[in-house]
Every structure is written in structure tokens, then in C-alpha cells.
A and B are shown apart, each in its own frame.
Chain A
Amino acid sequence: MKCPIQSPEHAERLLAYCAHKLDSRRAALLEEHIRNCPECADFVQGQRAVWQALDTWEAAPVSPDFDRRLYQRIQQEVSWWELLMRPLRPLVVRQGLPIAAAACVVMVAGFLLQRPAELPPVVVPAQVEASADQVEHAIDDMEILRELNHLVPPDASPRM
């Protein structure tokens, strides 16, 4: 058997042996080698000591509120996302709404295209209720203007 300590590639067998991960056949073969190889015996002894030392190192328990804090952070992220998406949510969430909106747009557009051009509204002249005084004033004004026209010669034009 080639000495496993000679290279890192083979030393894995020694590590596996110390961790009790070798099958019984391979473990027996290695034990036989270790009995005759002081270097490998030292390796195994030292490695077992390391294993024992590392076993003494216990990690502290996880805080009881670990999950609560985590879910709170997840919820915050979700809330931010929801806040960003809120204006678009009705369109995104309700799949039928975009289709209905598109159909409405098409229908309105079709209706507008088919509709004849609008005629201008008929202007109904408002009935003027003029009083007798107003009529008399208007006739007087017209007569004054007519007299003025007689006084002014026909070639006279206003100076600019």
C-alpha cells in the first residue's frame, strides 16, 4: 500500500479514516499500514486531537426572533414592490381589464369614424322685445343721420 501521507490527494484517506467515513475493508487496510508507518500514526493521532478540539466549539443558539426579523424584512421588500406597482396593479392583476379597455377603445373609435360630420347648430334668432321708446329713439337717430348726410358734400372724406 502506498503511504497516503505522501500527497494531499492520498491524505484524504487518512482524513476520512479519522472521521470514521471509510468502509470497514478500506479502514482495515489503512490500520494495517498505520501500524507500520510512524508518520501516518502521528498524522492520525494529531488529526483525532484536532477533531476533538473542534468538537468542543459549540455555536450559540439562534435568536428566537430570527424568523420574525427575516419575515419582517421580506414583508418590507414586498411592501416596497407593492407601493411601486400600486398604480399599475389594477391593469396587471386583473387580466380581463386590459382586454375590456382595448375593446372599449376600438368600439369608441369605430363609432366616431362611422358618425356623419356634425351640422352646425341652427341658430335661432332670439326674439327681441323692443319697447316703443327704443323704436322711436332708433327712428330719430336714423333721421338725424339722414340730415347730416345731406349737409356733408358727397366728395368729402375723413382725414386720416
Chain B
Amino acid sequence: MSERVKPDVGVAAAALDYDAELMLRVKEGDGASFAVLLDKYRLSVVHFLFRMVQNHAVAEELAQEVFLRVYRSRSSYEPTAKFTTWLFRIATHLALNAIRDARSEKSQERLDDDTSEMPLRQVSDHQPSIEQYMMYQARLDEVRHAIRTLPEKQRAAVLMHKYEEMEYAQIARVLNCSESAVKSLLFRAYETLRARLAHMA
């Protein structure tokens, strides 16, 4: 892969966002720009997928597929939308397929029971006591369960809204629906979550 290419590549995309400009450089054969995009979005893509499928190994595998698809599609890439919209559309599509496949294979329990890889959260500056750790795990299980039982599109919308801090318009483009549909999805999703998690305040 070559180094940086023509400086005027993606002038139109630059107005859209810098990531799209980087992607246009990837299209021109600039491997360094792909590395920049990977470095910038690796974490958020893996975390989004992890919260969607709730299995770290599966999430990483899906994230690999996301970036592989980005790389494969470089030659046909056109900056018609924000790069992150395109990226998360791929990620959401893969996650929804994985959830449906897992459900059809009745292996959801196996995916859901993957708690061993969760990081131990530091409750205080000191090492958490066993009680604190168990309380934290119980809270976490409740949160995970509450998210898991949301309908898939509501789940994706909440995760993008809460953790990726996406605007309604962008979530709408990722989920391929209207902005008002996203507002409705989020309203219903948070209503469910409030009913399940409000006691945790």
C-alpha cells in the first residue's frame, strides 16, 4: 500500500467530513489512511457490537468483518453520507444478522452467558471487595438483561444514541428509517428501560 496520495483527493468529501476524505484516499490506494480510520473507530465499533451481541469474541469477529468490508468496498466508495453512518450501517447490519442467526440456532443462551470476559470495574481507588464486586456484577447483569430484551432496532438505536452520541438524523440513516421513527423507537426503548432500571438510581 502506498503512502499519501494526491492532496486534492476528495475535495467534495472534505466538506462532508474528514473521515470520508480519508476513505477516498484509501480508495486511491493509501493504506495509511485506512490505518487512521481503523485506529479511530476500532474501539467504538467493537464496543457497539459487543453491546449488541453481548459476546466479546463474536463482537471482535464481527468488527473484523466490518473493517474488511470497508476495505473491500474502497474502490466503489462514494461519500454520499458521513463515514460513520456508513460504518455503523455495516456494523448494525452484521449485528442484527448475528443476533437472528444465534436465535435461529437457539444458541442465544451461549452468547448471553458470556460474562467471563467482562472487565472488572474499579468501584473505588482500592481493590473492590467481594461484596462490591458482586453488587457491581448484579447491576451489570440487570443492565445487560434490560438491553438484551429490547427489540433489535430499539437496542441498536439506544446504543447509538447513548454510547456513540449520534444525532437522530444519523441514527435514522443507519437504521434506514425516518427521523420520527427513530424518536419513537428511542421513546419506547427508554420507557422500557426506565421501568426496568429506575430502581438502580
Contacts and interface: CB of A to CB of B under 8 A. Distances in A.
Contacts of A22: none
Contacts of A58: 118-119, 121
Contact of B200 (A52, A59, A61, A66): A52
A51 B161 CA distance: 11
A60 B50 contact: yes
B197 A49 contact: yes
Contacts of B67: 70
Please report whether the interface of chain A is mostly helix, strand, loop or mixed according to DSSP.
helix
Given A45-B198, A54-B162, A69 B64 contact: yes
Interface in A116-158: none
Contacts of A53: 139, 142-143, 146, 193, 197, 200
A17 to B, nearest CB: 13
A12 B168 contact: yes
A50 B136 CA distance: 15
A46 B71 contact: no
B135 to A, nearest CB: 11
Contact of A49 (B71, B161, B183, B198): B198
Interface string A76-107: 01000000000000000000000000000000
Interface residues of B, number: 45
B91 interface: no
A57 B143 contact: yes
Nearest to A69: B64
A76 B136 CA distance: 43
B46 interface: yes
A56 B121 contact: yes
B11 to A, nearest CB: 27
B120 to A, nearest CB: 10
Interface stretch (B82-90, B98-106, B184-192): B184-192
Contacts of B119: 58-61
Given A11-B187, A45-B201, A47-B190, A70 B140 contact: no
A3 interface: no
A16 to B, nearest CB: 10
A62 B46 contact: yes
A73 B150 CA distance: 34
Contact of A59 (B50, B193, B198): B50
B43 interface: yes
A62 B43 contact: yes
Nearest to B121: A58
Contact of A9 (B139, B183, B200): B183
Interface string B144-159: 1011000000000000
Interface of A: 8-9, 11-12, 15, 43, 45-54, 56-63, 66-67, 69-70, 73-74, 77
Given A56-B121, A56-B136, 7 more contacts: A15-B161, A54-B143, A56-B140, A56-B143, A66-B60, A70-B67, A73-B68
20 contacts: A8-B188, A9-B183, A45-B198, A46-B194, A49-B197, A49-B199, A50-B193, A51-B162, A53-B139, A53-B142, A56-B140, A56-B143, A58-B118, A59-B46, A59-B51, A59-B119, A62-B42, A66-B42, A66-B46, A70-B64
